[in-house]
Amino acid sequence: MNKKKELRLRLPFRILIVFLGVLVVVTSYYPIRSIYKLHNHKYSLDTSIDMYKDGIYSYVIDKEYSETLDKIYGEEGYNPDRIDDYMSIKYYDRDNFLNNINKLLDLGYKIDEINNIYAKTSDKFIEKLTSKYIYDIGKYLAIDYFKEENYDRYIEYFNGSYQKTVLHVNIGLDKDYYQDPNNVDKFSITMLVNKYNKLDKDFVPDDLVLIDSNYSDEEIYLNKQAADAFLEMCVAAEKEGLHMKANSGYRDYDTQEKLYNYYLKLYGKSYNDKFVTLPGFSEHQTGLGVDIKSTSSKVFKNSKEYKWVLKNSYKYGFIHRFPESKVNITGIHSESWHFRYVGVETATKVYQQGLSYEEYYAMYLDK
């Protein structure tokens, strides 16, 4: 065979080899490029390879990265038909995450509800939700001060309004007065003591001081912050020709007990239920509550001082603690004379929003 003929026979073979080489390069380039793009899209390398193998590269690459999809892809229980749902659910590193979101989806919970469930509830509560569909759970979870530990009480108490139900139960209105109270043992100017929140017998507030004798007919103590604010408020009222004094302030447990028994004997239980709390449940024991009287009128509610203090007390950190419009919340009948120090910021919000302190505490502080 001459050299020309040999060259003609080798040429097609060489072309075939080159073609196969190019084909190998091209076919290997595209998967590598696709996997790289998925990985560059934040997906892990393993997930990127699996996605490419499963043929969903083009479906996933143009959508936002999903941590949930990244973490659960290929796990036991993964359902490719639910890829859109998985991509819309926020990932939480929680026990049985994939199994539980599958159960929630099976029961008919919406994506927003599932995200809210994981954002606001514990694994224990999620077990409750995966056992049966609760159609109105989204309405409860939409309330900022929802407490999962109170959920069964919400259901039992429900009064037609989700918001009021949650608020009232968190306050304790679904229980009888003094029943199973919360124990309060730490002093703060925003502490709450009422018929559902109790102080120990030996509780004494911080920094008790005597109120300036010019603004008290007897030795009356308050927490120093409250006493200073009360003095400032009285001085401001004086500049407008008004005169106020403290009629009562801090009372310890024993004093409250004697007072309760005195009025119980004098007027009976129905009177005490309205006006006098059991010892340990009195706000006076906090050293933050003060009863105010006018020097110009025996009935404080009829005085100019009362009208002034209603409009101005918040500027000095005080709130009207037991207004007539909130008797069903506070459990105490209207006391025009009783004001409570909570600090200017809190007092301003309570005043501006027209809330009782129980409502404000449940909505903003007790979380």
Task: List the catalytic residues.
Answer: 335
DSSP letter for 177, please.
T
**327, 335, 336, 359: which is closest to 346 by C-alpha?**
359
Query: Residue 291's beta-bridge partner residues?
Result: 248, 338
Other CB atoms within 10 Å distance of the CB of residue 191:
18
Cα distances (angstroms) measured from residue 291 to each of 261, 288, 303:
20, 10, 14
Strand ranges across the sheet with 318-322: 244-248, 289-294, 335-341, 318-322
Query: Which are the contacts of 320, defined by CB distance < 8 A and separation ≥ 6?
Result: 309, 310, 313, 336, 338, 339
191 and 225 in contact (C-beta within 8 Å)? no
- CB burial string 171-184: b at 16+ within 10 A, e below: bbbbeeeeeebeeb
